A and B are shown apart, each in its own frame.
Chain A
């Protein structure tokens, strides 16, 4: 019983990070309807920024997170301006956007391998901090911070999207890009905003992953979990992405804790395929209703 509770708590804290990533992914999907494969590269880039901020510049965790977020935003904007916008200007097929994203990912991963080397690095041990005891269950301070940080960011994002003028513009573009453009919304500005938000989320997630696990050039593979989470929640749906991330995190830790950690990834991909086949719109996605 204690073990079950422990696993669920760990799962929720991992699920919070998955939710961050999945929301960044779902936001772009809901507007442009394409899978941003460059996501993994941006995640890796911001984790490396956080790593160098702590080791080379000797920063604390919080300023380092800020550096990682900045790196995520800069990379995200660069990718949008160089690889996606020229394609969208010509309104070419989404297939080409996907290929372009794949090219960017190959570029970023190999650039990191060439410049930083393929070694696995870990952030300084004192940043992982201790665990707090809550009765018989314990929770890492890092997990708690990651969970609270994710929750704060997601609530702020919700407020921005649903309560501010720019948020309404973003939702309008997601609903129907052409009509929104006719209504006088600057679609290019909106898309830049969306990529900035996605960069912030990815940067946070990259820093948390770097703190919790390790930093290495191909760590972007973790972003596959974001695809899975947003498929479970419904592609393009933001509440669905949060829910999917939490469900995936909890299920994964339960499988790893009670069955075997070898089958963890097998299980998550399996659940994704089953959801896709029998509930293609996921838990919260509706076929024509986005965000």
Chain B
């Protein structure tokens, strides 16, 4: 049971981080390979706050997110102002996450403890707090996307020149979406750190960032529910494949390639998951199934009749 709860907490953490990244990658169109760096910053900040400054859980988590926002402005403002996009921005963020990891590994102050990492962090997150935080964050993101700012982000992703002509400030909008996504990742890192009660620079290597990107792209750009479903599946998948022991990551990589080749628009594509849509989908499949069944049944009966007639 404890094992299942741990998986649920990790799913919540990854959903929060993937929702944040989906704003930046999916809706604003900036591809980042370094969001695990923001998770690391959030995790370390909140752990130090809770251990040495005695700050309670919720403020510590929010401060973790705030620290990630500050760093995101430091790295993001010059790169966004210089119109880095596509692979340039992605590689810039890849460099950022490596720098964060190396800097943390080389600070030997006992509050940070270098590459050995921090142990004995109070275990403040449980399944319920993780779930509540996850739901609140997703709700806020939904509102943001529906707001004026969210529509600006979408406009920039679709046609940046046209959006600028309409009076949308590209630098400002991109920076806002980077800051919000950094906040989400910082919060995710904090929640995770308070659950595992341990943090080290090794937990935030390149694969962690790549998994987040995979969540967003497989879930479907321009969709919030898609990345959520994808984050849940991709977090649970290696756990479900655990009986395969060391082969599971081989299969994970293979599934990633197969999924992207056969369903490149992602699980949800440009659609959102909704109860109405879900019911509609079932009605549709039901109707198709009935028609198919009738056809098959009719054919079968006909052939049976023919056979009967011949005999």
Contacts and interface: CB of A to CB of B under 8 A. Distances in A.
Interface in A148-166: none
Interface stretch (A44-52, A68-76, A82-90, A170-178): A82-90
Given A103-B257, A103-B260, A265-B102, 18 more contacts: A33-B86, A34-B87, A35-B91, A82-B257, A87-B261, A87-B264, A90-B264, A94-B87, A96-B264, A99-B217, A103-B214, A107-B257, A227-B91, A266-B99, A270-B99, A273-B75, A276-B92, A280-B83
B113 interface: no
A235 interface: yes
A99 B214 contact: yes
Interface of A: 29, 33-35, 82-83, 86-87, 90, 92-96, 98-100, 102-108, 110-111, 113-114, 221, 224, 227-228, 231, 235, 262-263, 265-266, 269-270, 272-273, 276-278, 280
B298 interface: no
Contacts of B102: 263, 265-266, 269
Contacts of A113: 246
Contacts of A235: 87-88
Question: Is the contact region of chain A dominated by helix, strand, or loop, or is it mixed?
Answer: helix
Interface residues of B, number: 43
A25 B88 CA distance: 14
Given A227-B94, A265-B102, A273-B99, A102 B82 contact: no
| Majority-rule SS of B interface residues | helix
6 contacts: A83-B257, A102-B210, A102-B213, A103-B214, A110-B252, A273-B79
Interface in B44-97: 75, 78-79, 82-84, 86-88, 90-92, 94-96
A278 B264 CA distance: 34
Contacts of B253: 103-108, 110
Contact of B254 (A98, A107, A224, A227): A107
B289 interface: no
Nearest to A118: B246
B149 interface: no
Q: Which 4 A-B pairs have the closest CB atoms?
A: A107-B253, A103-B256, A106-B253, A110-B249
Interface in B207-258: 207, 210, 213-214, 217-218, 221, 246-247, 249-250, 252-257
